Amino acid sequence: MGTLHWVGIALAAISGVIHLFLGVSFITTPLGWSFLIAGVGFLGGVAAMLTNTRRRLVVLLGIPFTAGQIVIWYLVNAPEFSALGIGDKVVQALLIVVLIGLYRRG
């Protein structure tokens, strides 16, 4: 794995941990469970990359998964955005750029 892989792993791990934290914080609500599912998705992608499990497919699926997180976040939270939410979306936007770069490399 190269530097771009490690940057993507770090970004996905950051977003995954944020989502797990929010999921636990809101565990009694459906929104909390959706955060947990998203967190598991991000960390599952990290695990797949670290174990060399279908990396190209993980990268390809990670693009719409991450983009969907941004769209859903906007729809659920507009017009009131938290600093944590904005920070997470910056991380996710960077992750999308990294994933596109990795996919284009082949």
Task: Supply the pLDDT for residue 96.
Answer: 98
CA–CA dist 45, 61 (Å, integer): 9
Query: Using an 8 Å Cβ cutoff, are 45 and 39 in contact?
Result: no
CA–CA dist 91, 105 (Å, integer): 21
Task: Supply the pLDDT for residue 106.
Answer: 81
Task: Supply the pLDDT for residue 13.
Answer: 98
pLDDT along the chain (106 residues), means of 10: 97 98 94 96 98 96 98 94 96 98 94
pTM for this predicted structure: 0.95
Task: Supply the pLDDT for residue 69.
Answer: 96
